[in-house]
Amino acid sequence: MSNRKKNAAKGRRYSISEKRAVLEFVESVNLERGRGGIAAAAQQFGVSPLTISNWMRSDGMPTRGSGARPSIEVFRRMAELHEQIVKVEGELATYEKEYARLKAEI
């Protein structure tokens, strides 16, 4: 087997600036749409989705199923909403009792 055939299996090499452009595109699509950045970048730049995913992983970017954690702000907002729900449910219970009392008078 010649050297030419051995090297042909390695595929194309991408420069750091090319990788960065692809990863920035992925990030912008994901921010805009919520997902689909890898597929869009693969189509736009002609790079394999698996290659892009590997670049993201090595760059420390979250990938699907990577266990990326939501920000602390998400948890804070969830706690605020939970408190509001509990408050409104308490008010609703009060209104339901009054409604039942008034209905019983009819």
Note the pLDDT of residue 9.
54
Q: Retrieve residue 6's tokens.
A: 């051995």
The whole-model pTM stands at 0.49
Distance CA 8, CA 36 (A): 30
Count of domains observed in the chain: 2
pLDDT in tens, 6-24: 555 567 888 888 888 898 8
CATH number at residue 47: 1.10.10
Q: What are phi and psi of 22, to 5 degrees?
A: -65, -45
Residues 50 and 95 grouped into a single domain: no
pLDDT tens digits, the chain, 106 residues: what are they?
455 555 555 678 888 888 888 988 988 898 888 888 999 999 999 999 999 888 888 766 666 655 555 667 776 888 889 999 999 999 999 999 999 999 999 9
Residue 38 lies in a domain: yes
Quick one: pLDDT at residue 63?
63
Range of the domain at 95: 69-106
Closest CA to 19 of 50, 60, 47, 61: 47
